[in-house]
């Protein structure tokens, strides 16, 4: 954790270019973003009008997945690439699902700005005995896992829900995501759950949407997190052959939809895929 003063300094020094975490927060209706983020977001929205709904789809999937993990008996969550605390945080959903308040959540992000905001915002909503935010990089797997083990709130000998939500579209194939996820899968205890989602370029409805998705990647090259889209077949390998909870790897709105789910009537329009798998 960083202290309050350092967090404020990190926020103040982060405004020279758009932050993917703050852009996402803007699109899902949060309030932790600045003019530079809003201007970029509206540029993207002009080219891809439903981008806000795509981001909301990812956040809603996260909430439904966390609830299902709690129902499956999971009481520990490691949220990698957690971004900014915003609407529907993992610890809030978990506590709402398990009123005994017996769940523990470790938020991890490599962006100093995300950690800074987490430090400031978790102070208002979290239980410091059960909810922590730490700095670590998904791409630096050994260091990240050592920090998980040293966190004092996660017992890696027991089942964990490893959440990597709306992150994999920021990990390019040349960064070897297969090796990274194999590392994390190997270290999870039997019975753990792996929650994955990302944006997809599967079956664009027409040539204009296909080009718009390519333009989206070009836009994000100017942010703190360049992007990379995958088809379902390209994404499914990240589960390592573990059995998927029903209904499998699907467009996110088709994964246990509820009355709030956007695109519930037309899941393939969401541009987001996701699933949850259990370690045998």
CA distance 275 to 249: 5
Tens of pLDDT, residue by residue over 162-190, are 999 999 999 999 999 999 999 999 999 99
* Percent of the chain residues past pLDDT 90, beyond the cut: 67
Tens of pLDDT, residue by residue over 246-276, are 999 999 999 999 999 999 999 999 999 999 9
Q: Quick one: tokens of 55?
A: 């981001």
CA distance 72 to 241: 19
Q: Quick one: tokens of 8?
A: 């404020």
What was the pLDDT predicted at 224?
Answer: 66
Instruction: Name the residue with higher pLDDT: 59 or 30.
Output: 59
Tens of pLDDT, residue by residue over 123-160, are 777 888 999 999 899 999 999 999 999 999 999 999 99
Strands 272-278 and 193-199: antiparallel
Instruction: Name the residue with higher pLDDT: 24 or 94.
Output: 94
Specify the CATH number of the domain 2-277: 3.40.50.150
CA distance 92 to 7: 22
When pLDDT is averaged across residues 189-218 and rounded to a whole number, the result is 90
What was the pLDDT predicted at 46?
Answer: 95
- Residue 247, number of CB atoms within 10 A of its CB: 10
Parse the chain into domains and list their residue ranges. Answer: 2-277
| Torsion on CA atoms 55, 60, 61, 66, rounded to nearest 10 | 130
Provide the mean pLDDT of the chain: 90
How far, CA to CA in Å, does 48 sit from each of 28, 117, 198, 227, 270?
Answer: 15, 28, 17, 15, 12
Partnered with residue 197 across adjacent β-strands are: 274
């Amino acid at each position: 954790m960083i202290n309050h003063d350092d967090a404020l300094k990190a926020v103040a020094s982060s405004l020279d270019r758009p932050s993917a975490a703050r852009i996402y927060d803007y699109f899902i209706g949060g309030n932790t973003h600045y003019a530079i983020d809003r201007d970029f977001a509206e540029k993207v929205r002009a080219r891809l009008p439903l981008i806000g709904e795509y981001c909301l789809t990812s956040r809603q999937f996260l909430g439904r997945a966390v609830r299902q993990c709690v129902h499956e008996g999971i009481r520990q969550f490691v949220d990698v690439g957690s971004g900014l605390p915003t609407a529907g945080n993992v610890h809030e959903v978990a506590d709402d699902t398990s009123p005994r308040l017996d769940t523990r959540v470790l938020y991890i992000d490599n962006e100093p700005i995300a950690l800074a905001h987490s430090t400031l915002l978790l102070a208002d909503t979290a239980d410091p005995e059960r909810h922590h935010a730490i700095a670590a990089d998904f791409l630096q797997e050994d260091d990240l896992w050592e920090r998980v083990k040293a966190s004092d709130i996660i017992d890696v000998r027991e089942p964990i829900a490893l959440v990597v939500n709306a992150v994999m579209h920021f990990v390019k194939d040349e960064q070897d995501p297969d090796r990274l996820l194999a590392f994390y899968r190997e270290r999870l205890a039997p019975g753990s759950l792996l929650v994955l989602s990302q944006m997809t370029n599967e079956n664009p409805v027409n040539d204009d949407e296909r080009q718009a998705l390519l333009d989206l990647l070009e836009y994000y090259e100017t942010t703190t997190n360049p992007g990379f889209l995958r088809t379902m077949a390209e994404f499914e390998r990240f589960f390592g052959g573990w059995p998927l909870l029903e209904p499998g790897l699907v467009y996110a709105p088709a994964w246990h939809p509820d009355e709030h789910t956007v695109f519930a009537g037309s899941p393939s329009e969401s541009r987001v895929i996701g699933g949850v798998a259990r370690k045998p």
